[in-house]
Structure 1
């Protein structure tokens, strides 16, 4: 209840007037009078003056006192706030919840970075998922491999460089592929040889070309790009 509402109800009861009767004399509904008395609605000065005349009491004084009281209260609260010494509070570090990662999995893809033989994940790199794809490829078909030697320096690919690979067994003539033969994984530039039955690639720093039967070579993926290690 507001102070004005209390005064209106108090004077109305003294005069023996019901809310309905008061509302009728002032040109408002009974519910409106009840809302004013309960503080749910704010009364304007014109209606307050009209109710004052009907009840024969100076209710405008109550409104002035109420405003004055609220101003003092607000000023006191501001002063109290100034007196409270501010101190920096160190907030505890919050680790992302599993639910957060699940929610972000639809918009962010963490691509694993493997060692050359893909026996261990060394790190991750995050990419935005756009139209359900990452870099134009299916998100689950991308990995990184970290080059473990300098056998590809003639192609400006060195040890420590990270290569983004699209996992696909399709062979593309003249492209770099992640392959496996003799139980080892390698990144090599493959070319057709002797028709479609053989594959040729350079092995070693001496630039020696090897020719292997296609059945001996297992194509694991295709190179998308090389990210140079500047260390």
Structure 2
């Protein structure tokens, strides 16, 4: 209820009038009077003059309007302050969470198989200062660029989690540099000098014999995220 609404109701009650009776005197409905008193309708200058005439009392009280506007302004300022405080609080909470999560989560880069182009990143938890059991600076993801290994259920577009290696690991799927190319192959050791590089593009298994000295192991693929 507004100040003007309260004043209209007080005068009506004091003069023993119902909302319906006052409405008839003003030439408006009972509902209109009710909405004026409850503040759901704003009393314009014309209706204020008519009410003043009915009660023989000047309702056009400038001080009353000033107080009402002041209250409205103070309420809005208070709401603005609350909103600002709320926003600041949210920012503080987010900053705390960022700091906290920064010590337990790390953005791990997703590379194309050339290991030169970063396409995105993924957050992984740090446990005992390691990620998936490996040193934090030794892990990354690889976005598979072709279907050379689709027979191993490794398809173009899939994302593989990998860790850096410097020695050949037997029977593992590895990212390696061979013949001036960076490729993914399964490695099978033949002896101390030679290995078998195995691929399967869906048309059958293909093998290639290579000397260990000709191969530069880059990473071992540990896990695969399959893109459906």
Considering the TM-score relative to the shorter chain, is it more than 0.5?
A: yes
Give the 5 Å matches for 1:158-197.
158-193=155-190, 195-197=191-193
Give the 5 Å matches for 1:1-231.
84=75, 105-193=102-190, 195-203=191-199, 205=201, 206-230=204-228
More helix by share: 2
Q: Partners of 1:113 and 1:185 in 2: how far apart? A: 16
Query: 2:174·2:185 contact (CA, 8 Å) conserved in 1?
Result: yes
Q: Partners of 2:126 and 2:154 in 1: how far apart? A: 28
1:97-148 deviation per Cα after TM superposition (whole angstroms, max 9, x unaligned)? 9999787543221110001111211111111111111111111100111000
Q: Secondary structure at the match of 1:84?
A: helix
Q: Partners of 2:98 and 2:214 in 1: how far apart? A: 41
Shift of 1:175: 0.8
Shift of 1:207: 2.2
Query: 2:187·2:195 contact (CA, 8 Å) conserved in 1?
Result: yes
Q: Secondary structure at the match of 2:205?
A: coil
* Gapped regions of structure 2 (runs ≥ 5): 1-70
More strand by share: 2
Query: 2:173·2:186 contact (CA, 8 Å) conserved in 1?
Result: yes
RMSD: 3.3
* Gapped regions of structure 1 (runs ≥ 5): 1-79
Q: Partners of 1:174 and 1:133 in 2: how far apart? A: 25
Shift of 1:164: 0.8
Shift of 1:202: 2.1
Query: 2:152·2:200 contact (CA, 8 Å) conserved in 1?
Result: no
Structure 1 ranges of 4+ moved more than 3 A: 83-94, 97-106
Q: How many residues align?
A: 147
Query: 2:151·2:200 contact (CA, 8 Å) conserved in 1?
Result: no
